[in-house]
Amino acid sequence: MYLRNALRAATAMTLVATTAAHADTLTIATVNNGDMIRMQGYTDNFTEATGIDVEWVTLEENVLRQRVTTDITTKGGQFDIMTIGMYETPIWGANGWLVPLDGLSAEYDVDDILPAMRGGLSNDGTLYAAPFYGESSMVMYRTDLMEQAGMEMPDAPTWQFIREAAAAMTDRDNDINGICLRGKAGWGEGGAFITVTANSFGARWFDEDWKPQFDQPEWNDALTFFVDMMNESGPAGYATNGFNENLSLFQQGKCGMWIDATVAASFVTNPDDSTVADKVGFALAPNSEGVDKRSNWLWAWALAIPAGTEQADSAKQFIEWATSKDYIELVAENEGWANVPPGARTSLYENPNYQEVPFAQKTLESILSADPNNPTVKPVPYVGIQFAAIPEFAGIATQVSQEFSAVYAGQQTVEEALAKAQAFTSEEMEAAGY
Amino acid sequence: MARAVTTQRKTFNTALAWIVGLLIFFPILWTILTSFKTEAQAIASPPIFLNFDWTLENYAIVQERSDYMRFLWNSVIIAGGSTILGVIIAVPAAWAMAFVPSKRTKDILLWMLSTKMLPAVGVLYPIYLLFIRLGLLDSRAGLVVVLMLINLPIIVWMLYTYFREIPGEILEAARMDGATLKEEILYVLTPMAIPGIASTVLLNFILAWNEAFWTLNLTAVNAAPLTAFIASYSSPEGLFFAKLSAASTMAIAPILILGWFSQKQLVRGLTFGAVK
């Protein structure tokens, strides 16, 4: 009797299952970042204008990466639009996994996209993803603490100045750390930060023959400098701090300086969330004295169309709408200029309204000075600043960043970590046929 | 004197049980408390425990942004369907292993358990490709089958353990009275093993409810359960801990309530046969 009822219930439940998908509905995979969530709120405007419905699949960044990578490599066809970054776009474009974004309308004005963004989202001159918002990195600092320290932040500081200022601003008794930086393992977290720091000390990931360069003195200089500075003036446990942890510390007034994504500027100057909103200044990311390369990265969250979709035309329509000048106007009208998606279009930075936003100019300067084709002072065979746009990079850099995080946690020396990084990367690159 | 020692020990044991229970429950309590804070209060240092202005704003935002009921319904179907299907398959299997064992029964049991030792990601691509071929991607039916298969070894093991506690002579007596195999399992074995079956069902329902690898990787819109609902509030670039906590609280509330009401059966089933 029990078994029969259970069988009936199971059959009924299984029958309820459906797999139907609506033909006139776009399914978009995206990340849970503020600008993306805001866009979801305006989707009805697009639906009203075009009659095309939109379904959102919002996932955490790492889950999203795994999810869309699985789907695109197996041609699963689950998504009509994917939110991807500068790392994936050129690789996937070259593999033929993305629909080229050509034939965009004249009103869209594709030439208005910032050249650095357009370059980073293209392969062989073909645009494969449209930037929804872009970011570089810069220094955010407490103007009041800097003044108390009797120092003045230059527009373009050096690492040596940053270290000196951090030491002067540190006040352990009042729980103020001179500087907060990413130390968390992961190629997109601490791995990205130490890579751009190394760039600004003259280091590079690979030479022109794809030989790993961790055995070169520049890497040792960069890593040693970073560890020493953080031990002097950084927060305890910085080996596990990423973007969010540092944002939290800065917003609570526990950091004198924070060098991170330009998109953070709108968070730290928002009085609803930040206790230091009116005391924040901005400067370009630092370089080491004598090295003509700053430690700012370049990244964009962009919308791309997977080659497997049957709704490429509708998807292109959506991308044109979401990354258009009109969309920026729409957000500005409803939520103010400080909340528009930054870093994608030249016209935004020419707009007098946007120029009044305190961090706009430094954001633009940071983005414009980032060059993915020449990320270091020495020549490199790869494209990308905080990454090398090759499929093997994510796996290798994750492992390498774990070794570096172990140094930050005091578990091994700089020399040991670099030796391990060199051996591991050499092995992986050799196995990959480089 | 002996009585005083017993009372003391009892008090000590009770206190220890409460401390351990509270320690285990604390992360859930903290999540629930955080869901009623503002984002600024959620990250305040030192942390604020109870002295804050309670707000329902996060729940309102989550409710506005996401169709909670759709995710909830998917969770109920997927967790319920996979558990029931699993029990239907596992009862005869466990019966055979417990009462008609062969030379290979123990090997088979170990082999079944060994399938749990394989990291799920190792078979992601084969399963994904299979789902594409069968048209099962983003379907509840597909997830019911996958989660049933994943939990089947545990269900069989648990039922096997419970069945082993039931004297075989009772079943023999039923057979001598003319009971068929079906009647023996349905009317003699199952009623005697109800506590064990109930705890197996509950435990596997909870496991299926919380499963967050396959449910995230094989769904998009139609079949996404509450695990996908929570994942949509996690952000690497932005502090949305209060909203994430509200989403988490909404996701765990049904299972917490179910666990609360069925704790008697759960404990009884899990300790079934522990004391002989």
> Which ipTM did the prediction report?
0.82
Say which of B45, B125, B140 has its CB closest to residue A74: B125
As given in the structure block, the two tokens for residue A108 are 């869209």
pLDDT, tens only, B219-262: 999 999 999 999 999 887 788 899 999 999 999 999 999 888 88
| B108 within a domain of the structure (yes/no) | yes
Chain B residue with CA closest to A242: the answer is B236
Question: A371: closest CA among A28, A119, A155, A124?
Answer: A119
Which three-class secondary structure string do you get for chain B? CHHHHHHHHHHHHHHHHHHHHHHHHHHHHHHHHHCCCCHHHHCCCCCCCCCCCCCCHHHHHHHHHCCHHHHHHHHHHHHHHHHHHHHHHHHHHHHHHHHCCCCCHHHHHHHHHHHHHCCHHHHHHHHHHHHHHHCCCCCHHHHHHHHHHHHHHHHHHHHHHHHHCCCHHHHHHHHHCCCCHHHHHHHHHHHHCHHHHHHHHHHHHHHHHHCCCHHHHCCCCCCCCHHHHHHCCCCCCCCCHHHHHHHHHHHHHHHHHHHHHCHHHHHHHHCCCCCC
Q: How far apart are CA B231 and CA B235, in angstroms?
A: 9
CB contact under 8 A, B125 and A251: no
Q: Which two tokens stand for residue A97?
A: 């996994």
CATH label, A137-296+391-431, candidates 2.40.50.100, 3.40.190.10, 3.20.20.100, 3.40.1440.60: 3.40.190.10
Domain count, chain B: 1
Confidence of residue B272 (pLDDT cuts 50, 70, 90): low
* Residue listed under structure tokens 């023959």: A209
Contact indicator for A99, A70 with CB cutoff of 8 Å: no
Pick from B22, B237, B271, B24: which is nearest to B158 by CA? B271
Residue B1 has pLDDT above 70, yes or no: no
Q: Which of B183, B232, B248 to substitute to test the interface with A, most A CBs within 10 Å?
A: B232
CATH T-level topology, domain A2-135+299-363: D-Maltodextrin-Binding Protein; domain 2 (3.40.190)
Q: What residue in A sits closest to B121 (Cα-Cα)?
A: A66
Domain limits for position B89: 66-232
CA torsion A66→A68→A71→A73, rounded to 10°?
-80
Q: Return all residues near A178 (Cβ < 8 A) that are at least 6 apart.
A: A165, A166, A167, A168, A169, A170, A232, A233, A234, A255, A256, A257
Of residues A397, A405, A418, A416, the one with CA closest to residue A238: A405
Whole-number Å distance between alpha carbons of A228 and A337? 40
Q: Which residues pair with A98 in a beta bridge?
A: A306
- Dihedral sign from CA coordinates of A68, A72, A76, A82: positive
The partner residue sitting opposite A17, judged by closest CB among B65, B77, B125, is B77
Domains A2-135+299-363 and A137-296+391-431 share a fold: yes
CB contact under 8 A, A10 and B44: no
- Chain B partners of A247 at a C-beta cutoff of 8 Å? 238-239
Instruction: Give the per-residue pLDDT at A388.
Output: 96
Question: Which chain B residue has the Cα nearest residue A32?
Answer: B235
Q: Is-contact A154 A134, C-beta < 8 A?
A: no
Give the contacts of A95 (CB within 8 A, at least 6 positions apart): none
Side chain identity, residue A430? E
At residue B42, what is the residue type? Answer: A
Contact A14 B85 (CB under 8 A): yes
In this predicted structure, what is the pLDDT of residue A3? Answer: 47
CA distance B148 to B25: 28
- Residues paired with A57 in a beta bridge: A29
The answer to whether the CB atoms of B77 and A18 lie below 8 A apart is no
- Across the interface, which of A2, A10, A247 has its CB nearest the CB of B190? A2
Q: Are A120 and A373 contacting, i.e. CB atoms less than 8 angstroms apart?
A: no
Pairwise CB contact (< 8 Å): B228 & A57: yes
Instruction: Judge contact between A130 and A112, C-beta under 8 A.
Output: no
CB A286 within 8 A of CB A159: yes
Q: What is the mean pLDDT of residues B51-75?
A: 94
In the numeric block, the tokens 């695990």 are attached to B227
Residues of A in contact with B140 (CB under 8 A): 16-18
Which of B85, B231, B233 comes nearest A10 by C-beta? B85
**B261: distance to nearest CA of chain A, Å?**
21
Contact A66 B217 (CB under 8 A): yes
Which token pair is A307?
């080659």
Q: Retrieve residue A290's tokens.
A: 């004598």
Q: Which of B84, B124, B233 sits opposite A6 (nearest CB)?
A: B84
Residue A56 to residue A303: CA distance in whole angstroms:
13
pLDDT tens per residue across span A43-64: 999 999 999 999 999 988 888 8
CB A351 within 8 A of CB A143: no
How confident is the model over B116-163, as pLDDT tens digits? 888 999 999 999 999 999 999 999 999 999 999 999 999 999 999 989
Please report residues of A whose CB lies closer than 8 A to that of B228.
57, 59
Distance CA B213, CA B121 (A): 8
Q: Among residues 153-172 of chain A, which lie with CB inside 8 Å of chain B? A: none
| Chain A residue with minimum CA distance to B138 | A19
Contact A186, A401 (CB under 8 A): yes
Domain map (residue ranges) of chain A: 2-135+299-363, 137-296+391-431
Cβ of B231 within 8 Å of Cβ of A34? The answer is no
Alpha carbon A243 to chain centroid distance? 10
For residue A84, the SS3 value is strand
If 0-12 CB within 10 Å is exposed, 13-18 middle and 19+ buried, where does residue A231 land?
A: exposed
- Bridge partners of residue A28, in order along the sequence: A56, A81
Shortest distance, CA B224 to any CA of chain A (angstroms):
9
Question: Is B167 inside a domain boundary?
Answer: yes
pLDDT, tens digit, 9 for 90 and up, residues A138-163: 999 999 999 999 999 999 999 999 99
Which residue has 């994942």 as its token pair?
B231
A306 Rama class: left (phi>0) / alpha (psi -120 to 50) / beta:
beta
Nearest to A144, CA basis, from A261, A285, A278, A282? A278
Which residues in chain B have Cβ-Cβ distances shorter than 8 Å to A79? Answer: 220
Residues with pLDDT less than 70, chain A: 1-23
pLDDT at A15 (0 to 100): 39
Residue type, A101: L
> Which residue is closest to A6 within chain B, CA to CA?
B84
| Closest approach of B76 to chain A, Cα-based (Å) | 9
Domain containing B105 — which CATH number?
Answer: 1.10.3720.10
Cβ–Cβ pairs < 8 A, chains A and B: 156
